[in-house]
Structure formats: structure tokens, C-alpha cells
Amino acid sequence: MKKHVLLIGTGLIGGSVALAIRKEHKASITGYDVNIEHCKLAKMLHIIDEYTENLQEAAEQADLIILAAPVQETENILEELVAYSLKKGVLITDVGSTKSKIMEKAKLLEQRSTSFIGGHPMAGSHKTGAGSAKAHLFENAFYILTPLASTPVEAVDDLKHWLKGTNAKFVIMDAKEHDALTGVVSHFPHLIASSLVRQVQAHAEQNELVKALAAGGFRDITRIASSSPSMWRDIIIHNKHNMLSLLDEWQEEMNTIRKMVEKADGMELHNYFLGAKTYRDSLPQRTKGAIPAFYDLYVDVLDRPGVISDVTTLLAKENISITNIRIIEAREDVFGVLRLSFQTEDDRTGAKRCLEISGYETYITM
């Protein structure tokens, strides 16, 4: 008998999970979204089989319910599910970036014959929407699962089986540990990136050259500040306790650096930068982490008509997809280059090989 999956939220993450499930299971997937146009697109792309505007009816027929909505909306949906006559043994999971508040709300379902297992696939894309969904989006990425203490081991194994097609690395931990870890490596860096941008914005109001100069390397190192404001508002509020603690630590770190700068001790500053460089260089390069990686390739180009078309045609012939292309007019160390962005390391490697065979000089910055 065919199983029924309900996907609540038909965007990038939910759509990618659905495609991964479709790869391994002969299940019927129904989509639900507050924006019905998102559902229509997901159906057109064969991410879902059908869509509905009746959440209760679809939820009561489902064997697996995936909440792929923003974290605040996920809380609201959990409250709604409590009032429904759900199937006995139905599995419910989410894909939210914070877990503590969601897991607390999920306890409302403990008295029901259901199993809620929090989930966080720690990979994504700098694109959004169902049109960017990929079955392999989570391949080799960490996929955190946060079951309730009362959740049977069999239910966790069942969810892993459902998600087998993601080819992700499943890690089990409690919600508190999850929020602490993701706070350090994902949530807090978004705060810092945004604060750096706001500081530059303030200076740009005094000198228009600031904005022009920030178009190069500064724009690159703060790319994560371009993420969805509403999504990050909810994440920061949900992880407030950890954010406050990390902000206190950051202020101490800044005070330490301020003293170094004030003393102008060259050796002390050198050692500080060396320590940061050494640790950063030791970070895994081919492992997907909490923040989506930028697989960028820089290509030297001559100022001649058709050069961009030539580059894209060469890659198209190799079936290599470019997620973004940008002409960089001036950088600190190279001039006249294209920055090509790819969704995977393999695509970037293939593009580098393809272009170099055709005579282009390429660079990868670490």
C-alpha cells in the first residue's frame, strides 16, 4: 500500500527533502503552502504529486509529515496538529535551524500515538524556492536529528529510512546542544556579518567612495548578510540565550584586540593573525557545514566581445550548471576576472578542468 507524505512548505529545503524521498520511496507526496503559487511550481517540477489547501484533511491521511516552514510558523503548525485526528504511528519532523522551542512545543504530541523527531539538514543554497531544489542538496552534509526523550529508537530508524535518499550524515543530539553548536558556527556569524555591513553603511553616508570600495572583497566576506531578514529574525529570537552569551564573548574578544592595537605590538598582532590563519586553514574544505559553502572559481578574461558567452558555452557542453556569474572589475590581487559560483565542489572542479583545457587561467581562493 502506497504511503502518504505531507510536505508543509514547498521551498528549497522542503522541496529537496521531497525529491530525496521520491528517489528511494514510492510514496504519494502532497504539498501545502501558505502561498498556493509555491505549490503549483512544486507540482510542475514534479517535487510533489498534488497540493491541498485543506491542511487538516491532508495531515490526517499522512504517514509522514514534514514541516519545512519558518521556525515560528512551525510552532504554530504543531499546535494545529494536536487538534487533528492523526494516523496512529505517523512520523512528524521539521527542518528548522533552531530546535529547543520547537521540541518543547512538540511535547504537546507526546500523549498521541505519534512520534515527533526534530530535524535540521545542515546544508542549503544561496538560491531560494522550489526551482532550486535538488535531491542531492544534502549529500554528505550533516543532518541533525533531535528526538524527544520518549521517542522510540525504532521511530528514529524509520525516519532515517525515509530520508535515506538525502545521502546525508545523520547525527543524534538533544535540542540544547544543537542550538549551542549552530549558534556558534551559523547564527552568530550572521549577526556579525550584518553588523559589519551596517558599520560600512554608516561610513558610506559620510563618504561615497566607501560603497564603491566595498564592492570587492568586503562584499564577498559578508555575503551571508544577504539571507532572508524574516528567517534570521525568527532564528535569532528562538536562540536568544545562546546569542546573548556569544555576544558577551565577542565583546571580550574585541576588547582583547583593541588592547593589542593600542599597544601596537607587532609580534603580538602577528601571532594573533597567525593563530586565526592556522585554525582557519585546518577547517575541512570538502565537508558541508552549517553555512552553505560558496564554490567559487575565478577566471582571467580578456576584454573582448563574446568572452562570457564562450565560458558559459564551454561549461554547458560539459553539462556543468552555474548558479551565479559576476564580472569583477577590480580586486585587491587580480584584475579582469569572472567569478563563477557552483552548487557543488565537483561542479567547480569540473569547470576548472574544462576551462583550463580551453586555455583559460583559473584560480580558487581558500
pLDDT tens digit at each of 366 positions of the chain:
789 999 999 999 999 999 999 999 999 999 999 999 999 999 999 999 999 999 999 999 999 999 999 999 999 999 999 999 999 999 999 999 999 999 999 999 987 878 999 999 988 666 678 888 888 889 888 999 999 999 999 999 999 999 999 999 999 999 999 999 999 999 999 999 999 999 999 999 999 899 988 876 788 788 888 888 988 999 999 999 999 999 999 999 999 999 999 999 999 999 999 999 999 889 876 666 667 667 888 888 876 778 888 899 999 998 888 878 877 654 444 446 788 888 777 888 999 999 999 888 888 875
C-alpha cell belonging to residue 232: 534570521
Secondary structure class of 290 (helix, strand, coil): coil
Question: H helices within the chain, ranges in order?
Answer: 12-24, 36-44, 55-61, 71-82, 100-106, 153-162, 175-182, 188-204, 209-213, 217-221, 229-238, 240-263, 266-282, 307-317, 345-357
Nearest-CA neighbor of 103 among 116, 122, 115? 116
Dihedral sign for Cα atoms in the order 61, 63, 69, 72: positive
Give pLDDT, residue 107. Answer: 93
User: CA 121, 127, 131, 135: dihedral to nearest 10 degrees?
Assistant: -30
Give pLDDT, residue 329. Answer: 55
Please enumerate in sequence order all residues whose Cβ is within 8 A of that of 177, keeping only pairs 6 or more positions apart, or say none: none
Q: Which fold has domain 295-363?
A: VC0802-like (3.30.2130)
Q: Which residues pair with 344 in a beta bridge?
A: none
Give pLDDT, residue 127. Answer: 66
Other CB atoms within a 10 A radius of the CB of residue 67 amount to 27
Q: What CATH number was assigned to the domain covering residues 178-282?
A: 1.10.3660.10
Rounded to whole angstroms, the Cα distance separating 226 from 218 reads 13
Task: Kindly report, as residue ranges, where domains of CATH 1.10.3660.10 are found in the chain.
Answer: 178-282
Task: Kindly report, as residue ranges, where domains of CATH 3.40.50.720 are found in the chain.
Answer: 4-173
C-alpha cell belonging to residue 109: 504530541
Place of cell 519532523: 93
- This prediction has a pTM of 0.81
> Running DSSP on this structure, what letter comes out for residue 242?
H
Place of cell 535531491: 135
Rounded to whole angstroms, the Cα distance separating 80 from 10 reads 19
Rounded to whole angstroms, the Cα distance separating 227 from 29 reads 28
Residues written for the chain: 366
**HSE-up of residue 248 (Cα within 13 Å, Cβ side):** 5
- Determine contact, residues 143/117, Cβ cutoff 8 Å: no
Rounded to whole angstroms, the Cα distance separating 160 from 145 reads 9
Task: Kindly report, as residue ranges, where domains of CATH 3.30.2130.10 are found in the chain.
Answer: 295-363
Rounded to whole angstroms, the Cα distance separating 158 from 170 reads 13
Give pLDDT, residue 228. Answer: 85
Give pLDDT, residue 98. Answer: 96
4-173 is classed in which CATH architecture? 3-Layer(aba) Sandwich (3.40)
Burial of 258: CB neighbours in 10 Å, binned 0-12, 13-18, 19+: exposed
Biggest CA-to-CA distance, the chain: 73
Rounded to whole angstroms, the Cα distance separating 68 from 96 reads 7
Give pLDDT, residue 286. Answer: 62
Other CB atoms within a 10 A radius of the CB of residue 201 amount to 12
Give pLDDT, residue 333. Answer: 44
